[in-house]
Amino acid sequence: MKVAIYCRLSEEDRNKQFETDDSNSIQNQKAMLLQYAMEQGWELYNIYSDDDYTGSDRRRPEFNRLLKDAEQHRFDIILCKTQSRFTRELELVEKYIHGLFPIWGIRFISIVDNADTANKGNKKSRQINGLVNEWYLEDMSENIRSVLTNRRKNGFHIGAFALYGYKKDPDQKGHLIIDEEAAAVVREVFTLFSQGYGKTAIARMLNDRGIPNPTEYKRLHGLRYQQPKTKNSTLWKYFAISDMLINEIYIGNMVQGKYGSISYKTKQNKPRPKSEWYIVEGTHEPIIDRELWDKVQALIAQRAKPFDVGTIGLFARKARCANCGYTMRSSKNHNKHYLQCSNRHVAKDACIGSFISVDKLERMVIDEINKLAAEYLDKDELEQNIEFCDNLQGQKKRLLSDIAVYEKKVAEFSKGIRELYMDKVKGLISESDYVEMSKDFTTERDRLERVIADGEKQLAEIEEKIAVGDNRRQIIEQYSNLEHLTREIVEILIDYISVGKRIPGTRDVPIEIHWNF
C-alpha cells in the first residue's frame, strides 16, 4: 500500500503561548506521520507540505497537487495528523473524504481524531469534525473581523504593506514611519502638480528618470509582492498619480476599510462606500504639509469641473485606444477639443497612440447612425426583421419546453440519490453498491444540468435578439437625420468607440463603434 502524507502549518500555529511549544510544527507532523506509516508497513509515495496556509484556503499548492495525484490513483492512502489539517470546510469533507476518495479508491486517515474512511462506523464523527471545523472558521473570521475593526477605529495600520512613502515601524506594531526614499518622490509629485504639471506629464517625468512605481518599488525592496507580469506594469501611470494626490494618509490621517471581504470563504473583496471607511486623524508623521495639500485639493477641484460651460465631454469615458485599450483623454488647443491616448505619454514605447478631434469623431458617428437609419427603416428590411422575430419566438417556446423536461428529470435523479442514501443508512444496500449506483445517477444528473445551462444560455441569447429586433427601429428612427450629437444621445446609443492610429499618408482615422442596441 502506498501512502501520501499531507502536512499543513498555518500562521496561527506559529503564535503559540510558549516558543518551545512546537507540537504543530511541520517537522513534528512529518515525524509523527512517517513513524505511523512505517509501523503499518506502508510504502511512502510522497510528502505534501503547505507552510503558512489556513485550512480554508483552497489555493494551497501542495493540497491541490495531492488531489491531482489522488485522482490519478498514484497512491492508496492519504495520511494526516488531523482532519482539519486536510481541510476545515465541511463542503470539502463531503466532496473529497466522503465522495471522490471512495470513488478513486483512496483511503483517508487522520491519526489524532481517528478519522478513517475504511471504518464505516465513524463517518458521523468525521462529519461532526467537519461541522465543528466549519464553525471554527466562521467564529475565527468574526473574531478577527472584530479585532481588525477595533484596531482600525483606533488608527492602527493593519495592512500587509505600508502605503508608498511609508514603512512599518519595527518598534511599534500598527504604526507607520516615513520611508525617506519614497517620500521624496511623493513630495515631488505634489509639488509638480501644484506648479501646474498634469498627472500624465508627472508620470512621464518619473518614468524617464527610471523611478520605479509603487508596486515595483515594493518588489525591489524585498517585500513579498507579486512579480509584475508585463513590461508596462512597472511604469507610473495617470491613475497612480491621481490616487496619490487625494490620499489623506500623506497628511498624517489613517484611512482604511476602502474594501471589504464578501465572505470568510473567499479572499474576494468589494469596494465600500466612503461613509464606511475608517478615518482617524493624526496617527503618524505627515509627508505633505497642510498648505501644499490644500493647494493641490483646490487645483483638483478646479480641474474636475466639466468643460464647455458645465457640460461633460461629448465622448467622455466612451473613446478607447484601439492599440492598448486605454481610455482616451480630452485636450484643448486653439479652442478645439481633441481625444488622445495618454498612455503613449507615460513612457517610451508604452503605446503607439491614437489621436482624433472631437469634431471629426462626431461627424463619423453621425454618418454611421444615418447609415443604420437608412438600412433599418427600409420597409422590406423591417418586414424581414418581423419574420425573424416570429421565428425567434418559436425557438424560445421550444427551448422553454425542453428545459422544463430536463429540470423534471434532474429532480428525479436527485430524489433517486437521496433514496439510495436512505437505503444505505438503513442497511438495505452496501456502501460499495451505494457508491456505484449513486455515481451513475450523479453522472447523468450532472450531464442534464450542463444541458440545462447550455439551454438557458441559448435562451438568453434569443431573448436578447428579440429585444434588439423590437427596439432597433424605434431607436434608429428617433435619432435619424442628425446634424449634431448630444451627450444624452451618446450615452443612449454607444457603449464605447475604439479609435485607431491615423493611416499614414491620409487623414483617415479607423474607428469601431460598439452600440448599445
pLDDT for position 230: 54
Task: Give the whole-angstrom CA distance, residue 111 versus residue 89.
Answer: 19
My answer on whether 175 and 225 are in the same domain is yes
pLDDT for position 55: 67
**The pLDDT of residue 143 is above 70:** no
pLDDT, mean of residues 488-492: 80
pLDDT for position 345: 66
pLDDT for position 19: 40
Exposed/middle/buried for 277, CB within 10 Å: 0-12, 13-18, 19+?
A: middle
For residue 410, the enclosing domain spans 383-471
Render pLDDT for 436-485 as a digit per residue (tens, 0 to 9).
Answer: 777 877 888 888 888 888 888 888 887 777 666 555 556 556 666 778 88
Residue linked to cell 517585500: 223
**The pLDDT of residue 77 is above 80:** yes
My answer on whether 208 and 272 are in the same domain is yes
CB 194 within 8 A of CB 188: no
**The pLDDT of residue 379 is above 50:** no
**The pLDDT of residue 308 is above 50:** no
Residue 431 to residues 54, 82, 85, 114, Cα–Cα distance (Å): 32, 24, 26, 20
Q: Quote the cell numbers at residue 376.
A: 433599418
pLDDT for position 311: 46
Tell me if 481 is assigned to some domain: no
pLDDT for position 309: 38
pLDDT for position 151: 73
Q: List, in order, residues 6 or more apart from 353 with CB less than 8 Å away.
A: 321, 323, 340, 341, 343, 344, 501
pLDDT for position 24: 52
Q: List, in order, residues 6 or more apart from 152 with CB less than 8 Å away.
A: 158, 254, 256, 257, 278, 280
pTM of structure? 0.41
My answer on whether 409 and 283 are in the same domain is no
**The pLDDT of residue 374 is above 70:** yes
**The pLDDT of residue 178 is above 90:** yes
pLDDT for position 174: 84
CB 96 within 8 A of CB 36: no
Tell me if 105 is assigned to some domain: yes
**The pLDDT of residue 253 is above 70:** yes
My answer on whether 89 and 192 are in the same domain is no
Counting Cα atoms < 13 Å in the Cβ hemisphere of 212 gives 13
My answer on whether 134 and 15 are in the same domain is yes
Which CATH number covers residue 266? 3.90.1750
pLDDT for position 20: 41
**The pLDDT of residue 381 is above 70:** no
Tell me if 144 is assigned to some domain: no
- Which range has the worst mean pLDDT, 52-61, 85-94, 351-360, 363-372? 52-61
Q: Look at 359 and 139; give whichever has higher pLDDT.
A: 359
Of 271, 302, 333, the domain-final residue:
302
Task: Give the whole-angstrom CA distance, residue 440 versus residue 355.
Answer: 61
**The pLDDT of residue 432 is above 70:** yes
pLDDT category of residue 157 using cuts at 50, 70 and 90: confident
My answer on whether 279 and 427 are in the same domain is no
Task: Kindly state the percentage of the chain with pLDDT values over 70.
Answer: 77
Q: Output the DSSP codes for 383-443.
A: HHHHHHHHHHHHHHHHHHHHHHHHHHHHHHHHHHHHHHHHHHHTTSS-HHHHHHHHHHHHH
Task: Give the whole-angstrom CA distance, residue 84 versus residue 90.
Answer: 10
Which CATH number covers residue 59? 3.40.50.1390
pLDDT, mean of residues 2-7: 91
pLDDT for position 490: 85
My answer on whether 61 and 95 are in the same domain is yes
My answer on whether 326 and 465 are in the same domain is no
**The pLDDT of residue 408 is above 70:** yes
My answer on whether 173 and 296 are in the same domain is yes
pLDDT category of residue 122 using cuts at 50, 70 and 90: low
Tell me if 89 is assigned to some domain: yes
- Structural domains counted in the chain: 4
My answer on whether 388 and 502 are in the same domain is no
Tell me if 258 is assigned to some domain: yes
pLDDT for position 21: 41
Dihedral (C-alpha) 240, 241, 247, 251: value to the nearest 10 degrees? 140
My answer on whether 264 and 401 are in the same domain is no
Tell me if 160 is assigned to some domain: no
Tell me if 69 is assigned to some domain: yes
Tell me if 147 is assigned to some domain: no
My answer on whether 266 and 354 are in the same domain is no
pLDDT category of residue 164 using cuts at 50, 70 and 90: very high
